[in-house]
C-alpha cells in the first residue's frame, strides 16, 4: 500500500511531534534526582520491566514500529532514576551475536518494529527495528533459527524512507 503525499506528510509530522515530545520529557528527568513516579508521569507505564541484579529495575519505552528509538530507563533500588538510554544504536547492535536467544536480544534492544516468518524459510524468524544513523533511516535485522537463537544480524537502509513509503 502506497501513501499519497498528504498522508505521508501527516505521518511524518506525527513522527516529528512524537520525537519532540520525547525530547521534552527527557529534559524534565535528571539522573539521580528524578523518581520512578517522575518517570511514569513523563513516559507513562512501561511496556516491559526488567529486574536488575542490584534490586533496581529497567523500564522499556519502545517507539517502534513507526518511531526510530527505544528507551530504557533504569530505576535504582532507592527509587531514583540512574540512567536513561536510547538503545537503537550501533554500539548496542554490536552486542547481538550468533547464539543469543530472543529474550537476550529483547533485553538489549527492546520491542522490535515487526517480526515475520517467510514461507520459504519456515524455520527462521526475522525481527526488525527502525533506527537513525545520523539523518539516514535504517533497519536493524536479526534472524533467529529453529532453536530461537540468533543466526545472523545486519543493518540496511529503510526502504520506506528511500522510496517514500511502504
Rounded to whole angstroms, the Cα distance separating 164 from 4 reads: 9
Q: What is the pLDDT of residue 126?
A: 98
Rounded to whole angstroms, the Cα distance separating 14 from 11 reads: 5
Where exactly are the structural domains of the chain?
Answer: 5-86, 90-163
Topology of the domain comprising 90-163: Beta-lactamase Inhibitory Protein; Chain:B, domain 1 (3.30.1450)
Q: In the predicted model, what is the mean pLDDT of residues 51-78?
A: 96
Record the pTM. Answer: 0.81
pLDDT surpasses 90 at 5: no
Q: Which class in CATH covers the domain with range 5-86?
A: alpha beta
Q: For 87-127, how does the pLDDT look when each residue is reduced to its tens digit (9 = 90+)?
A: 999 999 999 999 999 999 999 999 999 999 998 899 999 99
Where would I find the beta strands (DSSP E) of 77-135? 81-86, 114-118, 121-133
pLDDT surpasses 60 at 14: no
Q: What is the pLDDT of residue 159?
A: 86
pLDDT surpasses 60 at 28: yes
Rounded to whole angstroms, the Cα distance separating 30 from 80 reads: 10
Amino acid at each position: 500500500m502506497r501513501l499519497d503525499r498528504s498522508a505521508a506528510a501527516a505521518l511524518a509530522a506525527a513522527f516529528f511531534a512524537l520525537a519532540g515530545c520525547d525530547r521534552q520529557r527527557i529534559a524534565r528527568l535528571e539522573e539521580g534526582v528524578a523518581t520512578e513516579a517522575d518517570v511514569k508521569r513523563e513516559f507513562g507505564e512501561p511496556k516491559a520491566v526488567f529486574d536488575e541484579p542490584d534490586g533496581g529495575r529497567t523500564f522499556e519505552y519502545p517507539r517502534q514500529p513507526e518511531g526510530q528509538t527505544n528507551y530504557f530507563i533504569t530505576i535504582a533500588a532507592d527509587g531514583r532514576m540512574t540512567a536513561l538510554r536510547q538503545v537503537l544504536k550501533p554500539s548496542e547492535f554490536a552486542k547481538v551475536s550468533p547464539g543469543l536467544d530472543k529474550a537476550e536480544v529483547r533485553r538489549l534492544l527492546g520491542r522490535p518494529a515487526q517480526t515475520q516468518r517467510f514461507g520459504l524459510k519456515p524455520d527462521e524468524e526475522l525481527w526488525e527495528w527502525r533506527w537513525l544513523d545520523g539523518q539516514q533511516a535504517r533497519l536493524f535485522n536479526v534472524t533467529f533459527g529453529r532453536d530461537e537463537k540468533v543466526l545472523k544480524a545486519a543493518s540496511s537502509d529503510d526502504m520506506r524512507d528511500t522510496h517514500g513509503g511502504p
